[in-house]
Amino acid sequence: MNVPGNHLMVGLLGHRDQFLRLVEDAFPRTDIHARGTEIAISGPHAESAARVFSELVLLVADGQVLDPATVRRSIDMVDHDEKPSDLLASEILRSAKGNSVRPKTQGQRRYIEAIRDNVITFGIGPAGTGKSWLAVAMAVQALQRDEVERIILTRPAVEAGERLGFLPGDLMAKIDPYLRPLYDALYDMVDPDGGQRLLERNLVEVAPLAFMRGRTLNASFIILDEAQNATPEQMKMFLTRIGFGSKVVVTGDTSQVDVAGNKSGLADLERVLTGIDGLSWVHLGARDVVRHRIVQDIVNAYDRSSDT
């Protein structure tokens, strides 16, 4: 195959052809050689390898900087008859550091499309699937577009191993460690100074779930994170707070329930809420893990263990 322009080759092949070797290793008995702007591929999986390179060329031509993780995900997507160039070109926004925030798997794309199209979206899946991070990105995008007037980030403050009463400081100091991941996601999208300004102007509110009781949340983008640790009563309370012009994302991992008695507000909730218009459930899995490869292997190992 011919690559349209020598300027694309360095980004396409990687340092010392590391991306070329990743593709070659993914397809047994396939030989790949690059010379000039031509990539010669031979072997029983030559067609699949060529499709991977064709997709990678489109990504590089679009200005994306490849890394090993992106190349591996592209190989996996092609192996499942998916097109990385269609998926990875859908940018949500630019992060505070100038990085493109976009879905990196088909599951993640279904997730952000569900958020766009529904009033309430439940994102269920293991650690590392980008549930909270993408939800915050969608919230910041909605605020920037004046689609909502504020962002509300909340999660249960569950005593997992430590009792709140024994932690130092006043109430907010005690619950701050539970809310810190939400601050971190926000600061990924807007720099800490910008995030602090949003908090000071009450355009972003970060609070424990218990603080939602008695409120009606209008014109807001509301994210309930770690919802598996909400009790059934808290979940009902939260879902009935939703006012006009609001959008809600509920994220959770049903394999990591810390709530007392294992009585999770997410348990059996999909069956209860099935059929409600404007509400969507998106289930993410091991293929949607975008952290270090070992996280995906760990998730797979737990999945296999639960099936036996």
User: pLDDT band for position 290 (50/70/90)?
Assistant: confident
Cβ(225)–Cβ(180) under 8 Å? Answer: no
> H-helix or E-strand containing 281?
strand 279-283
For 171, half-sphere exposure in the C-beta direction (CA atoms, 13 angstrom radius) is: 5
Domains (ranges, CATH) in the chain?
Answer: 6-88 (no CATH), 103-307 (3.40.50.300)
**CA-to-CA distance for 106 and 198, rounded, in angstroms?**
32
- The average confidence (pLDDT) of the chain is 87
User: pLDDT band for position 232 (50/70/90)?
Assistant: very high
What does the pLDDT look like over 57-114, one tens digit per residue?
Answer: 999 988 888 999 889 989 999 998 888 888 776 788 888 788 788 898 889 999 999 9
**CA-to-CA distance for 162 and 146, rounded, in angstroms?**
40
Task: Give me 138's structure tokens.
Answer: 């969608």
Tell me how far CA of residue 142 lies from CA of 4, 101, 103, 220, 261, in angstroms: 37, 14, 16, 9, 37
Q: Is 102 helix (H, G, I), strand (E, B) or coil?
A: coil
Task: Give me 231's structure tokens.
Answer: 């009790």
For strands 100-101 and 93-94, give the pairing. Answer: antiparallel
DSSP 235-273: HHHHHTTB-TT-EEEEEE-TT---SGGG--TTTTHHHHH
pLDDT exceeds 70 at position 292:
no
Task: Give me 16's structure tokens.
Answer: 């010392």
**CA-to-CA distance for 190 and 113, rounded, in angstroms?**
22
Least reliable range by pLDDT among 33-37, 119-123, 125-129, 300-304? 300-304
Read off the pTM: 0.80
Task: Give me 227's structure tokens.
Answer: 């919802």
